[in-house]
A and B are shown apart, each in its own frame.
Chain A
Amino acid sequence: MSLALLTILLYLAVIAQTTLLPMLIPLLPQVELVLIVGVGWTMRHTGWTALIGAVFAGLVADLASAGPLGPSVVALALAGVGRGRGRTLFGAVDSIGARSLTMFAVASATALVSYAAVVCLGSEHLPPPLALREALGSVLTTTLASIPLHGWALARRGSRRPAQTYAWN
């Protein structure tokens, strides 16, 4: 059920990323909504659901781009490596700062791995290389766009927080 939800979210993210955003804000560097969904998924879930979701989101992100296959999978998996219980690479999972830094790290890693793959394997075997300048712009816009989304997700979850009870002896 949860992976079906992820599929729908990724579908909407790809549509928005490849069609809607370029038409509405054509001059803005590409916002990687699929990566945002992938990071949000790994922040919210643990265990195999998080792992499978990260791989799935990474594949969808790479297939939606003109770059090589694999960089987003690598980046999301590396984010999962530092994902302990209640922790991310950069702090508590319910901290918007930690989530934003994780998002920045994932977007940067995707750009770097993609560029490295193109440089190492040559242009004959891969789609066109990504320009580093545009990749940096995409990293920044993706990170900035993720902040309100993560904030909204945290606020939404916080509003559902059950009333805590304390035992006073």
Chain B
Amino acid sequence: MTMFERTSGRNVSRGAWLAVAAVGLLLPLAPGRWVECLRAAQNTLLAPSAAALASVFIRSDESPSPATVPAEVEHLRKALAEADTERERLRTALIIASAEHHEPAAQPLLVSEALGARVLGPAARGYLSRRVLVASGASDGVLPGDFVLEGARPLVDQGAAQGLAAGQLVMAAGRVWGRVATAGSQTATIERVTDVGYRDHVQLARPGAEHALLTAQGVLEGTGQGDCRLKLVKTTEPVAPGDLVVSTGGEGLLTAPLIYGEVVRVESRPGQPHWDIWIRPAARDEPREVFVLRVALNPARLAATGREEVR
């Protein structure tokens, strides 16, 4: 025995250590509810010290710690959080109840239309840039502004003349593939969801037996690689791999949410208030044909309004 060791009681056999290791291997099978209770107890024990440290190291103009916030403001924040939770619960209950009863909805004012468009490959792009613009040119009434050929973004064969405009969502195989970045008269470029700079307000949905349960909202960002990131989802919100990511932009226009992709990885960095979430886009392949969602006034609604006025 060296001078650094402190013996205590009888020596422990290797079998005891192995038994502990074996028990440790079984611990991941412990019920999640128990583990969460233990985690909550430990966090409760550590919270005052963590808050005190945070108040020391975080400047007051960035994010005030709970210890420095007046009691009334803290009370209002808690009430607001509870109200948010209740609103989400009621919203989900409303969605489920509406779906179960199949109540006939009133005629919506706005409807969405899907306009089909072909994605132009390199040969088509070359033809447009060389033969049409250069060979034909203005003599055939073709203007450079009719086509948007710059950049490496995908190009589709529909443009502003067909009702395309920047910002419209582009679907591939029923999934969000991107949105219109620039619309020329006859063609348009597409910004894919994985492109750097792509951002959209999205919501998480947990697949259920019959209906998806809508949960937290956040901002989806393209990374320039194969996956996307989901930002600004608080760690107090439930998130798990397998959750769906849907667009919130279709609220009031679509009867079903548009699916962006699926959560593949979630991490919580210590001390950070938001989850780190990685999304795998549902529309991953390079499609040949896409659909651009356009918004238009509902002709049935307008016709009904016209009949009432005639009466």
Contact = CB atoms under 8 A, between A and B. Distances in A.
Interface of A: 2, 11, 14-15, 17-24, 30, 43-51, 54-55, 58, 60, 62-64, 66, 68-74, 77-78, 80-81, 83, 85-86, 92-94, 113, 117, 121, 123-126, 128-131, 134, 154, 157, 161
B20 A51 contact: yes
A70 B26 contact: yes
Given A48-B12, A73-B27, A77-B20, 4 more contacts: A44-B6, A47-B7, A48-B9, A51-B12
A71 B269 CA distance: 19
Interface string B1-15: 111111111111010
B10 A121 contact: no
Contact of B21 (A44, A47, A77, A121): A77
Nearest to B266: A128
Contact of A46 (B5, B267, B272): B5
B32 interface: yes
A113 B54 CA distance: 32
B58 A55 contact: no
Which 8 A-B pairs have CB atoms at the shortest separation, nearest pair first?
A70-B27, A73-B24, A74-B24, A22-B271, A77-B21, A49-B8, A128-B266, A77-B20
A85 B270 contact: no
A2 B9 CA distance: 13
Nearest to A153: B4
A20 B271 CA distance: 8
Contacts of B38: 63, 69
Interface residues of B, number: 50
Interface in B230-273: 240-242, 265-272
Interface string B71-108: 00000000000000000000000000000000000000
Interface stretch (B42-50, B131-139, B221-229): B42-50
Contacts of A74: 21, 24-25
A63 B268 CA distance: 14
Contact of B5 (A45, A58, A77): A45
B55 to A, nearest CB: 11
B17 A47 contact: no
Contacts of B208: none
Contacts of A71: 24, 28
Nearest to A86: B2
Contacts of A54: 20
Contact of B42 (A2, A22, A58, A64): A64
14 contacts: A19-B50, A19-B271, A23-B54, A45-B7, A46-B8, A48-B12, A49-B8, A50-B12, A55-B24, A58-B24, A69-B28, A77-B21, A129-B265, A161-B3
Contacts of B14: 81
A94 B3 CA distance: 8
A11 B46 contact: yes
A91 B46 CA distance: 36
A161 B6 CA distance: 14
